[in-house]
Amino acid sequence: MIKEVLRETEIEVLASQSSKDDMPYCGDDYFICQTKEYFLCVLADGLGSGKFAYESSHAVIEEVKKNHSKGVETLMANCNSSLVNKRGAVVSILKIYYDTKEFVYSSVGNIRFFLYNPQSDKLVYPLPVTGYLSGRKQKYHTQRYKYEPHAKFLLHSDGLQLQGAKSILKRHYSLEQNAHHILQNNTMESDDTTFILGSLLS
């Protein structure tokens, strides 16, 4: 289900989310934020499902909301601290800096990220870092990627079974058309599912 659409001068973004078997609590949570200098999004998938999974993922989101101006590594460390005495969560944070045309990305766990650069026709796909955040000491692997004009990206939790990310991101479709295509081809409802689809407008 499409939950949110953001359209600004620099970027347009769509977020879709559904809970496992239509349960009242979704174990995934996300946050997107746009300023003149940057765009930020975070996706958190609480371990398991139901209320305790939601409490973990929501703690991460609240932490990022309060501190979104900070760097990605600092945010990851803060998110980890927010999960002390909670079930834990896998977390990905993506920040796009418009002045340097750069994606800064850090992730722990099995959330997937794809960046498609149209001029070079290349797909960037960082390998997932195993583990999850739970308050224990953790190393973070933060990566930087240059993006081309009209680059597209996709971030999704493991509830989405995605085939052919490059072909999806190459399509000259609207965000809504691409989102409907993804949803039509993802028949699994036995897990919480969230994806964030974005396109740079210059």
Pairing label, strands 193-200, 152-156: antiparallel
One digit per residue, the tens of pLDDT, for the chain of length 202 reads 889 999 999 999 999 998 887 788 899 999 999 999 999 999 999 998 889 999 999 999 999 999 999 999 999 999 999 999 999 999 999 999 999 999 999 999 999 999 999 999 999 999 888 999 999 998 889 999 999 999 999 999 988 988 889 999 999 889 999 999 888 887 556 688 999 999 999 8
**Residue 172 class from Cβ within 10 Å (0-12 exposed, 13-18 middle, 19+ buried)?**
exposed
User: Tell me, what CATH number does 179's domain have?
Assistant: 3.60.40.10
What is the per-residue pLDDT for 185? 80
Task: State how far the Cα of 60 lies from the Cα of 88, in Å rounded to an integer.
Answer: 10
Domain residues for 170?
2-200
Per-residue model confidence (pLDDT) at position 49: 86
What is residue 24's predicted lDDT score, i.e. its pLDDT? Answer: 83
Give pTM, 2 decimals.
0.94
Q: What is the predicted pLDDT for the residue at 29?
A: 96
Map residue 153 onto helix, strand or coil.
Answer: strand
Distance CA 118, CA 200 (A): 11
Number of domains in the chain: 1
Those residues with Cβ within 8 angstroms of residue 200's Cβ, 6 or more apart along the chain or in another chain: 10, 11, 96, 147, 149, 150, 151, 152
Distance from the Cα of residue 113 to its chain's centroid: 7
Residue 23 pLDDT: 81
